[in-house]
C-alpha cells in the first residue's frame, strides 16, 4: 500500500519549471533592440531561480543574413512590415547575431542553474518569437519534448520582451498542454500598448499572471 501511495504521489506532484526568455545584451539597455529598463528584472529573475524544479533559458541566435532584419531589405527601415514567406513580418534592427556580444546573456544574469539553453531564430527565412517553434510552426526547438521528458507540468515565464517572445512562448506552451504563468515583475515589454492588449488573450487561453512574491 505504501508503495502504491508513493507512486501516486509522484504522479500527482506538480513539477515547476522557470523559462527565462531572451535576457540578452541586445534586448537590455545599450543593445540594438533594447527593451526600456529591461535590466531591472534581472535581480528578480536571479532570486526566484532556486524555487523551481528546473530552470531553462531561450536565446535568440540569428545569422547575419536573417530576413527579419531591415538591413537585408534595401529601402526598408526597422519596424516596417512586409510579407515574408506568407507571414507578416516586422523588420527589426540587426540583433542577437550568432557569436556576437549582443547575443550573449546579460552579464548580470545568473546562469549556473540553467539545465539547458534552447536557441531560436536560426533559420534565415523565418523568424522565431516563441521558445518552442518558429513563427510558421514548422521547426521545433525541442523545448516541449525536453520539459515533458523531465515530468514538468507547470511553466513560469519571465524575460524579454513580454509582449513578443515571452507572449508567444506562453501561447505555444498552452497548446502543448502545460499550465503557464507569466511572472509580471520579472518581465518587461517592448511596447506597453501591445502588452496591454494581449492580457485578455492569455487569460482566455488559460494563461495566468502572477508576481514573483506569489510563487516563492
- Interval 21-35 mean pLDDT: 98
Query: What superfamily in CATH does domain 12-62+103-215 come from?
Result: Isochorismatase-like (3.40.50.850)
Query: Which of 128, 108, 119 is CA-nearest to residue 47?
Result: 108
The DSSP result for 5-22, as a single string, is HHHHHHHH---EEEEEE-
Cis before 199 (ω within 30) = no
Q: State what percent of residues in the chain have pLDDT above 90.
A: 90
- Rounded to whole angstroms, how far apart are CA atoms 55 and 193? 29
| Residue-wise pLDDT tens digits, 98-142 | 999 999 999 999 999 999 999 999 999 999 999 999 999 999 999
Would you state the cell numbers that stand for residue 123, as one nine-digit string?
533559420
- Give the helix/strand (H/E) hosting 166: helix 165-175
pLDDT at 11: 52
Segments making up each domain of the chain, as ranges: 12-62+103-215
- Interval 2-12 mean pLDDT: 47
pLDDT at 28 over 80: yes
* Positions marked active-site: 22, 120, 165
Residues 6+ apart with CB under 8 A from 151: 15
Amino acid at each position: 500500500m505504501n508503495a502504491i501511495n508513493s507512486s501516486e504521489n509522484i504522479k500527482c506532484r506538480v513539477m515547476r519549471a522557470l523559462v527565462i526568455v531572451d535576457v540578452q545584451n541586445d534586448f537590455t539597455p545599450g543593445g540594438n533592440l533594447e527593451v526600456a529598463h529591461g535590466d531591472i528584472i534581472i535581480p528578480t529573475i536571479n532570486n526566484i531561480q532556486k524555487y523551481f524544479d528546473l530552470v531553462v533559458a531561450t536565446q535568440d541566435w540569428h545569422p547575419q543574413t536573417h530576413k527579419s532584419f531591415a538591413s537585408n531589405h534595401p529601402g526598408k527601415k526597422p519596424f516596417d512590415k512586409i510579407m515574408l514567406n506568407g507571414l507578416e513580418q516586422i523588420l527589426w534592427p540587426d540583433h542577437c547575431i550568432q557569436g556576437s556580444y549582443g547575443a550573449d546573456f546579460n552579464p548580470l544574469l545568473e546562469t549556473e542553474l540553467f539545465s539547458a539553453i534552447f536557441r531560436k531564430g536560426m533559420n534565415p527565412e523565418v523568424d522565431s518569437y516563441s521558445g518552442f517553434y518558429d513563427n510558421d510552426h514548422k521547426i521545433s526547438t525541442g523545448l516541449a519534448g525536453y520539459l515533458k521528458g523531465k515530468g514538468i507540468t507547470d511553466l513560469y515565464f519571465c524575460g524579454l520582451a513580454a509582449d513578443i517572445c515571452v507572449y508567444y512562448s506562453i501561447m505555444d506552451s498552452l497548446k502543448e498542454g502545460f499550465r503557464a504563468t507569466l511572472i509580471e515583475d520579472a518581465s518587461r515589454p517592448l511596447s506597453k500598448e501591445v502588452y496591454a492588449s494581449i492580457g485578455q488573450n492569455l487569460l482566455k487561453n488559460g494563461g495566468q499572471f502572477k508576481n514573483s512574491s506569489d510563487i516563492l
